[in-house]
Amino acid sequence: MLLLNAWGLFDFWHWLHYGAGEKMVDILIRIALILFFLRRGMDDSRQSD
């Protein structure tokens, strides 16, 4: 997408700030946080064994 933005074929900043792009970034942040805390919890449980 960034390459298409550089060529002027796609408006990345408009997509990111309005509509689908904003929702996708929100979902990706939530998934990343869930995976981070899940991994951290698994590491803590292994150390206590």
Locate the domains of the chain by residue range: 2-47
**Cβ-contact 5, 11 below 8 angstroms:** yes
What pLDDT is attached to residue 48? 61
- For CA atoms 8, 13, 14, 20, the dihedral sign is positive
Mean pLDDT, range 6-21, rounded to an integer = 80
Q: Which residue has the higher pLDDT, 48 or 38?
A: 38
The more confident residue out of 37 and 42 is 37
Q: What's the pLDDT tens digit per position in 28-39?
A: 999 999 999 999
- Name which residue leads in pLDDT, 1 or 42: 42
Q: Name the residue with higher pLDDT: 10 or 46.
A: 10
